[in-house]
Structure 1
Amino acid sequence: MKKIIYCLFLLSILQLLTACDASNKNLSNNSPSTNTESKNNEKPEEQRNVSATGIETIIPSGWKILEKVKGEPEKAEGDLNKDGIHDIAAVIEKTTTEPEEAPSRALLIAFGSMDKTYSLSIIADRVILKADEGGVWGDPFDGLSIDRGSVLVSEYGGSNWRWYNKYRFRYQNNDWYLIGATMGEYFTGTTTQENADEEDYNLLTGDYIIRTTVDNGKVTMKQGNRGRKQLIKLRDFNMEDM
């Protein structure tokens, strides 16, 4: 009788130990490992990009924000329509093109809203030169900024003779207009950009300043007013006409 009771006691202990082991395995399987937790918390690259720029949803299919320097999107933020909310301007570049052909570029401007979304204002496709249009210098795109409530596009190129252009666009009367232009050139053998031949126009007032460097290095300045003329709309602006 004692042997039977002892055997039953051992059997109960074995069943209890088996149940505990199974329970521990289940708990182990249900608990996330460190690697799994890391993967779940890591944001995908696409999500980080969206968070960084906030305008990917309105970029046309087949285009991307230009990164002249890898990891640095060519964009600028500031209040462009005087509503106290940051807007955004960006240079976009086509992702698909013919072999050995530089992709087209365009200027994209979008207005921000209180909920941190953006609405497209304009895409101008004749403002930004292609990467192969800067001559020996290389890519002529030199910068995009928002300055005094307007969008400023800068370009620079050439070889021994260097040239540079700066165009200023402002939103007014429910549209975008060219309100200022600066164009200059200089020969690197004898002059620098600081004393280059330069024309600067304020298209809102008609005021202009023309700077010329003569052979002896002397700089002459001419100022005047050519009168106010009808402003060029951004949608009609063509770099080749300037």
Structure 2
Amino acid sequence: MNKLLILGSLLILISCGNKTNDKNVEQTKDTLISKISDKEQSTSSTIDTIEIRKHETFNENIDSIPEVLEPFIPKNYSAINISSGDANLDGLTDKILVLRKNTEETTSNHAEDKPDKRPLLLLLGQPDNSYKLIYRNDNAVYCIDCGGVFGDPFTGTTIKNGYFSIEHGIAGGQHWEQVVTFKYDRSKKNWFLYKDHYVSYKLNESDDPDAEALVLDVDNMETSKEFGIISFEKFNIYNEDGN
């Protein structure tokens, strides 16, 4: 099998709902070509390349964790994202932690197609400057494999004025972004899915040399009118209806 055919096959392997990150696209291509060249004499070269590349992450462990947050990180887990803001409109600073298993880059569950889940912890700030865990949701952040061959699709979280958002996206064989936002309900003292905004792009077929490389393909905004009332603790990004 020649290099181009192997590379082409790899670029169409997209998992977890076909849903990467622009800054690593060229590095990704170079890595794939290098690995294929090293193993092209082996009959298992394609499999070996997929196994190694499939678990590459663009989210590194955060080495410096505030001491007050350390008790919330379970053994054998690390934080890959921390965001701050007022999530429940009480004037105190709250936190979101996104965790991953320390083994997620090396553990392979391909046979069962069950990649490690990434817990998202919502921590509310207390008057004594401590934090209280309100919710943990293991189905709110896509897994390391969910961007397919283009890698880890998780890009971050934000908290602001009673809202918080979870952000994903890839830029490679496919180009898409998804921002899922939750809103705090004072009367119910809980957060509910507010909107799910998905945007994808495609290559521009225009022959104009000044044309943009990509053009909008899909711009889909869903609200509670489409998905109903979904609380954060019940939200599941792996399900099409979010529940």
TM range (shorter): 0.5 to 0.7
Question: Contact between 1:166 and 1:183, CA under 8 Å: does it hold in 2?
Answer: yes
Quote the residue 1:77 is aligned against. 84
SS of residue in 2 equivalent to 1:127: coil
Deviation of 1:194 after TM superposition, in Å, equals: 6.5
CA displacement, residues 33-58 of structure 1 (integer Å, 9 cap, x when unaligned): xxxxxxxxxxxxxx96334xx31112
**Structure 1 residue 178 and structure 2 residue 186: aligned?**
no
Quote the residue 1:201 is aligned against. 222
Q: Percent identity?
A: 24
Quote the residue 2:93 is aligned against. 86
Structure 2 distance, partners of 1:127, 1:87, is: 18
**Structure 1 residue 239 and structure 2 residue 243: aligned?**
no
Alignment of structure 1 residues 116-131 onto 2, 5 Å:
116-131=129-144
Quote the residue 2:78 is aligned against. 64
What RMSD in Å do the two structures reach over aligned CA positions? 2.6
State the AA in 1 paired with 2:223.
N
Question: Contact between 2:164 and 2:181, CA under 8 Å: does it hold in 1?
Answer: yes
Structure 2 distance, partners of 1:93, 1:61, is: 11
Among 50, 53, 56, the alignment partner of 2:66 is 50
How many residue pairs get matched? 164
Alignment of structure 1 residues 20-39 onto 2, 5 Å:
none
Structure 1 distance, partners of 2:161, 2:216, is: 25
Quote the residue 1:114 is aligned against. 127
CA displacement, residues 172-211 of structure 1 (integer Å, 9 cap, x when unaligned): 21222111110122223547677331111333xx4xxxxx
SS of residue in 2 equivalent to 1:131: coil
Structure 2 distance, partners of 1:150, 1:80, is: 6
Q: Per the alignment, do residues 85 and 187 of structure 1 end up closer, same or farther by CA in structure 2, a change over 3 Å counting?
A: same
Alignment of structure 1 residues 113-152 onto 2, 5 Å:
113-152=126-165
Quote the residue 1:154 is aligned against. 167
SS of residue in 1 equivalent to 2:146: coil
Deviation of 1:96 after TM superposition, in Å, equals: 4.3
Structure 2 distance, partners of 1:126, 1:160, is: 25
Question: Contact between 1:184 and 1:199, CA under 8 Å: does it hold in 2?
Answer: yes
Question: Contact between 2:167 and 2:180, CA under 8 Å: does it hold in 1?
Answer: yes
TM-score by length of 2: 0.59
Q: Per the alignment, do residues 105 and 96 of structure 1 end up closer, same or farther by CA in structure 2, a change over 3 Å counting?
A: same
Q: Per the alignment, do residues 179 and 193 of structure 1 end up closer, same or farther by CA in structure 2, a change over 3 Å counting?
A: farther
Structure 2 distance, partners of 1:127, 1:192, is: 32
State the AA in 2 paired with 1:235.
E
Rg comparison, structure with higher value: 1
SS of residue in 2 equivalent to 1:232: coil
TM-score by length of 1: 0.60
Deviation of 1:145 after TM superposition, in Å, equals: 0.8
Higher strand proportion: 1
State the AA in 2 paired with 1:202.
T
Quote the residue 1:25 is aligned against. none
Q: Per the alignment, do residues 188 and 143 of structure 1 end up closer, same or farther by CA in structure 2, a change over 3 Å counting?
A: farther
Among 107, 124, 135, the alignment partner of 1:99 is 107
Q: Per the alignment, do residues 189 and 149 of structure 1 end up closer, same or farther by CA in structure 2, a change over 3 Å counting?
A: same
Structure 1 distance, partners of 2:169, 2:131, is: 30
